[in-house]
Amino acid sequence: MKKFFGVIGNPIAQSISPQMHNNLFVYYGIDAHYHPFLVERGKLSEAVQGLKALGVAGFNVTVPFKTDIIPLLDWIDPLALEIGAVNTVVNKDGILLGYNTDGPGFLKSLEEELTLPKQPAILIIGAGGAARAIFFTLEKIGPSAIDLCNRSLEKAQSLAAEAKSHVPSNALTLDEAERRLNDYDLIIQTTTVGMYPEIGQLPLDPGGMNKPFSAADIIYNPYETEFLKRCRLRGAKTVNGIGMFVYQGALAFELWTGVEPDSERMRRTVLNQLGGATC
């Protein structure tokens, strides 16, 4: 019997998850299909109940629902509970289990593509579900600081206050962060600003950077956001969101099917969907 999987979010048209997972289902001979679901804000509870009623075997959760979905699930993995956000749900005989594969996926991508100094000073742009996953994951690698900046300063302050280690963490306004960019070795952009179709937008301007640094953006569509482009032009080593997207997806696929998928095949699928761009 065919199994159904999906991804919920708003917006959702930009997602390449369906192509990536459906390609894997065919490759591994699994009788399943993965579908995107646009969920209206304020309708998350109804959407989750609808998916459960349809017998969906599992689904991903993307912006803006990664934190809001937690009370709607029956069990939360300890890492996801610490992070306070869920991006992967497994339906086990009607019991909804929540996991977070964003943080581990991002860290694997970062370690694969960048060489960071010991105890790097890090700035995270954003304070949503993905920012939380990255914040709590990077705490464990021993940075000298992890500061947060966000359009809503209160959200950044709340996340910074939750730090469970001795890593210093300050909450900044976007203007404050722009003035202090040279304090950081790594800047991580976790918001939807600059995501397709609203390409060209900036969460903040990295033009004030005048020291060696690295920059990461969790957006993978477009392949290079305006933020990463401007960081690259300032001499930064940059990482887009494809690695994180692939690795978090691989972990989700394994949770759903028990199969550890070919991550390089997943990467090729994503690149093909983005038009084969390589720069």
Residue 51: CATH number of its domain: 3.40.50.10860
Q: Do 165 and 62 have their domain in common?
A: no
Instruction: Give pLDDT, residue 220.
Output: 87
Beta partners for residue 80, in sequence order = none
In sequence order, which residues have a C-beta less than 8 Å from that of residue 140 and are 6 or more positions away?
165
Does the annotation count 237 as an active-site position?
no
Distance CA 249, CA 255 (A): 10
Is the pTM value of this prediction over 0.85?
yes
Q: Do 128 and 78 have their domain in common?
A: no
Q: Do 29 and 109 have their domain in common?
A: no
Ordered alpha helix ranges (H), 73-173: 78-83, 102-113, 129-138, 153-161
Q: Do 66 and 107 have their domain in common?
A: no
Number of structural domains (the chain) is 2
Which range marks the domain in which residue 54 is found? Answer: 3-99+243-274
Distance CA 4, CA 25 (A): 11
In a domain, 44, yes or no: yes
Distance CA 185, CA 266 (A): 30
Q: What is the DSSP string of 219-259?
A: --SSSS-HHHHHHHHTT-EEE-SHHHHHHHHHHHHHHHHS-
Q: What angle do helix axes 129-138 and 102-113 make, rounded to 10 degrees?
A: 60
CA torsion, ordered 245, 96, 155, 187, to nearest 10 deg: -20
Instruction: Give pLDDT, residue 276.
Output: 53
Instruction: Give pLDDT, residue 180.
Output: 97
Per-residue tens of pLDDT for the chain, all 279 residues: 899 999 999 999 888 999 999 999 999 999 999 999 999 999 999 999 999 999 999 999 998 999 999 999 999 999 899 899 999 999 999 999 999 999 999 999 999 999 899 999 999 999 988 898 999 999 988 999 999 999 999 999 999 998 766 789 999 999 999 999 999 999 999 999 999 888 999 999 999 999 999 999 999 888 899 999 999 999 999 999 999 999 999 999 999 999 999 999 999 999 998 875 433
In a domain, 279, yes or no: no
**Binding-site residue set for shikimate:** 15-17, 62, 87, 102, 220, 248
In a domain, 200, yes or no: yes
Instruction: Give pLDDT, residue 278.
Output: 36
Which of 2, 43, 52, 66 is an active site residue? 66
Q: Do 121 and 67 have their domain in common?
A: no
**Binding-site residue set:** 15-17, 62, 87, 102, 126-130, 218, 220, 241, 248
